[in-house]
Amino acid sequence: MATELSTSSNPTLPPPGGKSAGGLRLEWLDALRGFTMLLVVMYHVFGMSFSGDVPKGTAITVMMLFRMPTFFFISGFLAYKVSSVWTGEYLGTMLWKKVKIQLVPSVVGMVAYLMMMKPHFWPALEHALSVPTKSGYWFCWVLLHMFIIYYVIAYLLERMRIRSVWPWIVVWIISVAIYATLYMPAWFSWHKAPFWQYSSLVRTAEYFQFFLAGTLAHRYWDRVQKLMDTSWFFPTVLFIAFICCVENYHWHNLRLQWANLPRTIAIYSLMFILVMFFRYYHDWFSRDRWIGASLQYIGTRTLDVYLLHYFFMPTLPAVGAWFKTAGRNFVLETTVTMAVAILVTAFALLASNVLRISPFYKKWLFGRTS
């Protein structure tokens, strides 16, 4: 589910494993993407299969903080290309390819899901279109928004011969400011208007900053890696993440619009901890290790899993009731939910392989031509 959600067929992305700005393959990036996809399925299993209300401060809640930001961060990381020359023809080509690959699968997936899983199709479709989540099929649509914004700005800066990073930093600051208004209901209510809900642009406003953070990290990847390798950076980030999570889930000292500040800092901190973990233990996540090969396989087929996993969600409300009876247990919640998520993901990949027998489905559903 990151940028095309499948790198090998996308001309704007490196092949599976990705490449850094210096051209080095990053196999652990595909593994990270696969792991993050499992977190997405895991959260859906907890909420949809187990019918669970996510309790504050549990494993599921903390994972929920950074799972989608990490997806968009990876999408932005892979979207940045040093060699891109933004002519009008190139812009048009890229936009059209993104529309085909991002829009068609999400529309087909949503319609098929509503037809198969809802008792009344037309009321369900009307409701799905009226809310930003689109019955779960919002990600590709929102990612398309981000690509359009990013490509158009890149094209305009190229036309104006501006190659400095500062305009992008300004855009990132603006995106953070817009995101902050979502958590200031007493002052801002623009996002509640039907246009922002129908278009899902409210979700774009929520996550675009992470996409831009990914592009900036890739632009200065050598410097980012040096920062990660310093002796003080990781313990500092870990400490900040701990304090912000405690404030967000336990202390609640900050009120009103300020309450979102520790939550946002926690998101960035946890996201970078996850990136640093996969980078540091990159040998684990190479194709030579079973865990690396498995996660990379999921990572290169996240679009497939994203489109199909909703069809394989079991109905297990008794498990959710059991969690409530047993009380909070990090190990229990994580193990059981991840086990079911892996099973659901396996069935989604199996269905994907069946559909890929058809070159037509392979191209238009999963953006693959080979």
The domain ranges of the chain are 3-219+283-364
Say if residue 358's pLDDT is above 70. Answer: yes
pLDDT computed for residue 53 by the predictor: 66
Share of the chain above pLDDT 70, in %: 90
Least confident among 109-118, 248-257, 263-272, 302-311: 248-257
Percent of the chain with pLDDT over 90: 71
Looking at residues 210-227, what average pLDDT do you find?
96
Lowest mean pLDDT of 171-180, 280-289, 330-339, name the range.
Answer: 330-339
pLDDT for 23 equals: 47
Question: Can you tell me the distance from the alpha carbon of 138 to that of 93, in angstroms, rounded to the nearest whole number?
Answer: 23
Reported confidence tier of residue 17, pLDDT bands at 50, 70, 90: very low
pLDDT of residue 51: 79
Name which residue leads in pLDDT, 324 or 220: 220
The pLDDT of residue 142 is above 50: yes
Q: Is residue 10 scored above 80 in pLDDT?
A: no
- Specify the higher pLDDT residue, 306 or 6: 306
9-18, 307-316, 349-358: which has the minimum mean pLDDT? Answer: 9-18
> Tens digits of per-residue pLDDT, 63-82?
888 999 999 999 999 999 88
pLDDT at 126 over 60: yes
Mind listing the pLDDT tens digit for each residue in 328-354? 677 888 899 999 999 999 999 999 999
Which of the four pLDDT bands, split at 50, 70 and 90, describes residue 54? low
Mean per-residue pLDDT of the chain:
88
Band (186; pLDDT cuts 50, 70, 90): confident
Average pLDDT rounded to a whole number, residues 131-154? 95
Confidence of residue 62 (pLDDT cuts 50, 70, 90): confident
